[in-house]
Amino acid sequence: MKKIIFLMLMITSLFSQEIIINGFYTQSLVNPFKSILDKKEKSIFIDNSNDKIINVNIESNKDSSFIANHLVKDIQIKSSCNSILYQILSQTYNISNSPINNSNISCNLTNVNLNIIYEDMLIKDMSIDIEGYLQINNKKVVFKDSVDEELNNHEDNYNWTIRAVLPEQLSNEEKIQQMIETIIFKMIQKGLENEKI
């Protein structure tokens, strides 16, 4: 009984804080030596002027009274995903502190949906749907994708190398941050594939 009460408290406090997208969980997806050792010919400016707070939409298989009693209704997240954009671009570009003609970029989220499936009183599964865009100079590149708790089995990372952090049991809040950051990273990479900066 005590264990169930403790788990319920964990669920209740799950969304008590703003989720911060800082690139912590995407560090293993970039090569740190590339950004330090590679010679960079071009500079780029990452624009943070459009950063704002957006609400995360929550959907669940439980009824509204259960959600009202066990989840904070308003989960908030900053719309800017520039910290992850910085991780990717700093491997190839010098990052400027001021705007540059024809070399400005930003990343922003427009919609985040958190889908939670409960089994009895516990969270059984979570997935996240994200919409956003890259603003590359005057061109907007829209992206949309989903991620599950298994991170869609991402590839091409540096896990299990000497610099990797060993797997650990994440809290639900940390897991949500990891899911969001991983899918943002993939969407940015895909969005940059065919775009000239």
How does pLDDT run along the chain (197 residues), one tens digit per residue? 444 443 444 444 454 457 889 999 998 889 878 877 888 889 999 998 888 888 888 888 887 677 666 655 567 888 899 999 999 999 999 999 999 888 999 999 999 999 988 888 778 888 999 999 999 998 999 999 999 988 876 455 555 444 444 456 888 788 889 999 999 999 999 989 877 77
The contacts of residue 117 (CB under 8 Å, 6+ apart) are 60, 61, 123, 124, 125, 126
Q: What is the pLDDT of residue 18?
A: 76
- For residues 11 and 172, is the Cβ–Cβ distance under 8 A? yes
What sign has the CA pseudo-torsion 58, 59, 60, 65? positive
What Å distances lie between residue 114 and 4, 17, 73, 133, 177, CA to CA?
23, 15, 12, 19, 11
Task: Please tell me the distance from the alpha carbon of residue 140 to that of residue 46, in angstroms, as a whole number.
Answer: 14
Q: What is the pLDDT of residue 71?
A: 59
Q: What is the pLDDT of residue 42?
A: 92
Question: What is the Rg, in whole angstroms, of the alpha carbon atoms belonging to the chain?
Answer: 18
pTM of the model: 0.79
